[in-house]
A and B are shown apart, each in its own frame.
Chain A
Amino acid sequence: MAVSAFHAIADPTRRQILDLLAVGPQRAGDLAASFRRISRPAVSKHLRVLRGSRLILQERRGRELWYRLDPMPLSQVETWLSKYRDFWQNKLEDLKKAAEK
């Protein structure tokens, strides 16, 4: 399944998972327990999407499964968007100049 980083971080639960992992790696069980209103299978599905986009990595440590954040795909998104960020910043300044004339 192809999942882009854009799609992966569009979902609020997935952003919350990334938030938790931004603090440090977490055990799979602890991560699922952090979401009281969401079923374990649903959390697992979100983890699969995040793994598919390579935003998180899965590691087996002994008998335990751990997840950790990999911010690399996010910096790729940011690089691509920066062209449009620059474009709009310039246009807004041009609008200001034109309106204040």
Chain B
Amino acid sequence: MLASHLTEKLEIHFEIEINAPLSKVWAMLASLEGMKEWFGRNLVFEHKIGGRFQMEGELPGEGPYKFTGQVTNLVPESELAFTWKSEVGEKEPWPASTLVTFRLYPTAAGTRVTLDHTGFQALGEALAKSGFEGHVQGWTMSQTLQELKQVVEAAS
């Protein structure tokens, strides 16, 4: 009940049904050429375990962003996982990496894709360990790492 609700607050999970065969979805998902069609134009993606991932861009009104990571799992037509760490865009680079996992399942109509973005608690743990100190300030809505820091500060 609440426990699953709490887990939902710590993790991101989405599912989407796609009317295309596994092989086509996998090609879109796990190749640099495919990813450029939907994920972003300024990408680095090395199709191998341990391969580099990088995504850069600029959001109107929010400024530049950059995420980096490493491919941790690659099972053809089944699973792609890579780490995900903000380097630019938040007020400070993230002190730890999170994990993004895509899974593909065949369906009658085509393919179901699930996305999980997990490991956000590692950011809180790393900040707590870094011994960040400062004044406890009110929560603002600008949704940046600064606010996450304030959660840690408020808890210290």
Interface residues of A (CB under 8 A from B): 1-10, 12, 15-16, 18-19, 22, 52-54, 73-74, 76-85, 88-89, 91-100
A-B pair count, CB < 8 Å, reads 137
Contact of A7 among B14, B20, B25, B125 (CB under 8 A): B125
Q: Does B108 contact A (CB under 8 A)?
A: no
Which applies to chain B's interface (DSSP): helix, strand, loop or mixed? Answer: helix
What A residues does B120 contact at CB under 8 A? 6, 77, 81
Known: A73-B155, A98-B37. A78 touches B18 (CB 8 A): no
Question: Among residues 63 to 114 in chain B, which have CB atoms less than 8 Å away from a CB atom of chain A?
Answer: 111, 113
Q: Is the interface of A mostly helix, strand, loop or mixed?
A: helix
A6 and B121 in contact, given A16-B3, A89-B14 (Cβ under 8 angstroms): yes
B interface, CB within 8 angstroms of A: 1-3, 6-7, 9-10, 12, 14, 16, 18-20, 24-25, 28-29, 34, 37-39, 111, 113, 115, 117, 120-125, 127-128, 131-132, 139, 141, 143, 147-148, 151-156
Q: Which residues of B contact A100 (CB under 8 A)?
A: 18-20
List chain A residues, Cβ under 8 A from B34. Answer: 98
Chain B residue with the shortest CB-CB distance to A83:
B143
Which residues does chain B contribute within 8 Å of A92, judged by CB atoms? Answer: 14, 16, 113, 115
- Indicate if the CB atoms of A88 and B155 lie closer than 8 Å: no
